[in-house]
Structure 1
């Protein structure tokens, strides 16, 4: 069931955006209300925590609440809207971060806070990314991320790109790791490939396998892999930020 996009006087806006920012009120039409939008979204999160993102359907959430599916449409017009609301709600507001005025300390703490927030609800990584985040929680995270570069001479548009790159790296790295783990088998990946790779055609890969690059003891956890990549990214940021201070 679809309803028209909300019109707040600034033109049509997506229903989920209007609900997240209080531009439209849910549950005002029809019989006396027995639910609230917050209850519906919280119930959806409870369902996903227990059963995974695949269980996020209007009917499953309605069953969890003890209501009919049709009754939910008074609060949320579609599954897509429900997922948008859940995606912003579950990430939560950003925590207070230690910040000593050094942009690198700040953005690194911000990146790990993102990692830990997502890690509390790993199924969040499976939600579709159909549009840029628009909700108040995501905007609060972006605000904190941008503020870490406040003391630099970097243009505002560039600050935004730097923060988004860190966010995409952390979330992308976690998303890939989750998908790989879900499809992992007992096969020994390096040994399996070593049997078929021709050293003449794949000299760099052959050297990597012979040096046990895929079994590096210092990279034996996903957190260590994420940390290594984040450190190298911020090393590059150091040079870039310094170029604006000359």
Structure 2
């Protein structure tokens, strides 16, 4: 494929596409230079996911990937030109396509299901949140998620640019909660009840009367509540409350 052909697309033939975009959308044929090889981009990405799942994103390198596949490091460079390109393509591959949603759902329930599904997709491979967000996503799976979010808001009758803003805000909420949880799960002590025990040692009831009262009521020790899920759902519901009010008042 020539460079000019790689630049052609439905948007504009004047924009040069980065290698990661070409690979993600199947607009380039990796591994065509040199002797014929027995790898595909899909195999390479699957192996990269296996490494990151087992050892974390920091362990993923071109040499580690080559070892996982049983190939030389130089052979990997025939498929992706750098680790940065690999990670960008991997980011879209890992998030996967969105699930199909029930067409009978209200826009609010559909958007809530969309957010919950995105959250679950991220935590299927928690290291995904360790990938730096250096640019807006452009891969086909990410675009499919965006399309599904916009479709969820179709019944609102809002202008498309407004729907896009709302979907992006929900996604930012999901990403923020995911990154927070990832950090807490990675760094907080794992001993049972360690967090409330630490707070009980340092909090002065005179200075923090409401908080110490809540701790005394064992607000973190309720067996039948998954606090991570409850916090996510509570915040999402409050965000959607605001959306609902906005939708009802729009154009009045």
For the superposition of Structure 1 and Structure 2, which TM-score range results when normalised by the shorter chain? 0.7 to 0.9
* Worse overlay, 64-73 or 19-28: 19-28
Q: Deviations over 1:221-240 (max 9, x none)?
A: 31121111111111111111
Query: Are residue 99 (structure 1) and residue 103 (structure 2) matched?
Result: yes
Q: Provide the residue aligned with 1:150 in structure 2.
A: 154
* Cα pair 1:20 1:85 within 8 Å, conserved: yes
Q: Provide the residue aligned with 1:229 in structure 2.
A: 235
Q: TM-score, normalised by structure 2?
A: 0.85
Q: Provide the residue aligned with 1:82 in structure 2.
A: 86
Query: Are residue 109 (structure 1) and residue 113 (structure 2) matched?
Result: yes
Q: Distance in 1 between matches of 2:196 and 2:93?
A: 40
Q: CA deviation at 1:145?
A: 0.5
Q: CA deviation at 1:208?
A: 5.4
Q: Deviations over 1:20-65 (max 9, x none)?
A: 1223221121222331212111111122222222222111111111
Query: Are residue 123 (structure 1) and residue 127 (structure 2) matched?
Result: yes
Number of aligned residues? 241
Q: Distance in 1 between matches of 2:127 and 2:49?
A: 10
Query: Are residue 242 (structure 1) and residue 252 (structure 2) matched?
Result: no
* Cα pair 1:16 1:81 within 8 Å, conserved: yes
Q: Provide the residue aligned with 2:3 in structure 1.
A: none
| Superposition RMSD in Å | 2.3
Q: Deviations over 1:139-171 (max 9, x none)?
A: 011100011111213221221121111112122
Question: Aligned ranges for residues 17-32 of structure 1 at < 5 Å?
Answer: 17-32=21-36
Q: CA deviation at 1:136?
A: 0.4
* Worse overlay, 64-73 or 169-178: 169-178
